[in-house]
Amino acid sequence: MGSLHENPQHGFGGLLSGLQEAYESGRTKDLAWRRAQLKGLLRLLAEKEEDIFDALHDDLGKHRAESYRDEIGALVKSVNHTLRNLEGWAAPARRRARLLLLEFATRFGFGANLWRTSSWQCCGCKALRACSVHRRIPCCQYTKVPRS
């Protein structure tokens, strides 16, 4: 079995504190930095592929094809997928108002029935749609009523 030896010069504590400093500095937020790190991981896998195969064979008895399929190939596929989708994942999330159902519900009376059975009731203003989603609006005061 292989073993992991701690370098007494740096130690795991030094490694961890270095990683925390890098994260807290904010440089990990930059997409170019993330892309460079992922591409560096791909280069590392390509350069050290034979060493990884040998280590997996020595430690676990894995065949080269099995090692590629389970370890290296899966990681390469995951990194490539991340590189393709990184920009979309890091984009700010767009929030859409879901008014279609509320328009239908209030227009055909369905919303009024839901409104009566909910635990919040409007004070009588014309803000039925806002009350049905529990949004506070300036012209409406909410009162708590028990469910019937």
Q: Is residue 17 part of a domain?
A: yes
Residue 26 reports pLDDT greater than 90: no
Q: Is residue 15 part of a domain?
A: yes
Q: Which residue has the higher pLDDT, 145 or 24?
A: 24
Q: pLDDT value at position 28?
A: 84
Inter-CA distances, 117 with 93, 99, 135, 145, 148, Å:
33, 20, 17, 10, 7
pTM score of the predicted model: 0.53
Residue 100 reports pLDDT greater than 60: no
- State what percent of residues in the chain have pLDDT above 90: 38
Q: Is residue 111 part of a domain?
A: yes
Residue 43 reports pLDDT greater than 90: yes
Q: Which residue has the higher pLDDT, 12 or 60?
A: 60
Dig out the tokens for 54 from the structure: 């040998």
**Same domain membership, residue 81 and residue 129:** no
Q: Is residue 86 part of a domain?
A: yes
**d(Cα 108, Cα 97) in Å, to the nearest integer?**
20
**Same domain membership, residue 107 and residue 50:** no
> How many domains is the chain partitioned into structurally?
2
Q: Is residue 3 part of a domain?
A: no
Residue 33 reports pLDDT greater than 70: yes
Q: Is residue 6 part of a domain?
A: no
**Same domain membership, residue 105 and residue 79:** no
Residue 93 reports pLDDT greater than 50: yes
**Across the chain, what does the average pLDDT equal?**
73
Q: Is residue 25 part of a domain?
A: yes
Q: 47: which residues sit within 8 A by CB, 6+ positions away? A: none
**Same domain membership, residue 86 and residue 30:** yes
Instruction: Name the 3-class secondary structure at 70.
Output: helix
**Same domain membership, residue 105 and residue 65:** no
Q: Is residue 95 part of a domain?
A: no
Q: pLDDT value at position 48?
A: 95
**Same domain membership, residue 104 and residue 134:** yes
Structural domain boundaries enclosing 124: 100-144
**d(Cα 56, Cα 71) in Å, to the nearest integer?**
9
